[in-house]
Amino acid sequence: MKYTLSIIIITATLLASCTAPKTEKLPYLGKKELVDGVEQNYKIPQFSLMTQDSTMIDNKSMSPNIYVADFFFISCPSICPKVKKQMLRIYDRFEDEPRFKLISHTLDPKRDTIQRLKQYAENLEVDHDKWYFARTDQDTVMDLAFSYFVNAFVDNEAPGGFDHSGKIILIDQEGHVRGFCEGTEPDSVTPFMDDIEALLDEIKTKK
């Protein structure tokens, strides 16, 4: 009787460890594209942005790293502070991870000058070489938001003049979209941080 019981337990444990692999590879999100007849995963298009330090970042400078991106504006009275709180939570958890960065894009380049972005970053008390506050012209940032699957519109009736979603997007070292969460919902950010961890493991094993 004892034997049978222990055999059942051992078999069950083995089965469980087989059927539930611990690290599942994150999916590639977005529509696949045909390039020269070969199907390729969706990539964030070319960008070139100025940061709070007046330095430029682009796809190439980001490429050894994975990063998360969000869209906001400083005078935003609605969801932005909540999303920033969650971005800060992500920053705190991966602060010591050299291949992890964050980009917050301003949707309001007219009011959010480089100087104001710098002040904002300093008030958040974050490292300027880890978390970029990026600025470009109005049309470019709107297009860029769409390319990250973030809805953003100029809307004079919305609080602060812009209507936008609070999604936080995870991008891998090749520019593919690998995950997202709702920055306004702390509960959705918790599993998202595990996704970041998984992606970091993925690029470490690739190296």
Q: Which residues bind other proteins (CB under 8 A)?
A: 77-82, 84-85, 88, 120, 122-125
Give the nearer residue to other proteins in terms of CB position, either 99 or 118. Answer: 118
Give the nearer residue to other proteins in terms of CB position, either 85 or 99. Answer: 85
Nearest approach, Cβ of 185 to other proteins (angstroms)? 11
Give the nearer residue to other proteins in terms of CB position, either 84 or 167. Answer: 84
Give the nearer residue to other proteins in terms of CB position, either 108 or 172. Answer: 108
Nearest approach, Cβ of 139 to other proteins (angstroms)? 27
| Pairing mode, strands 152-154 and 162-164 | antiparallel
Q: How is residue 31 written in tokens?
A: 């529509």
Give the nearer residue to other proteins in terms of CB position, either 83 or 142. Answer: 83
User: Cα separation of 63 and 101, whole Å?
Assistant: 11
Nearest approach, Cβ of 131 to other proteins (angstroms)? 12
Nearest approach, Cβ of 105 to other proteins (angstroms)? 18
Nearest approach, Cβ of 79 to other proteins (angstroms)? 6
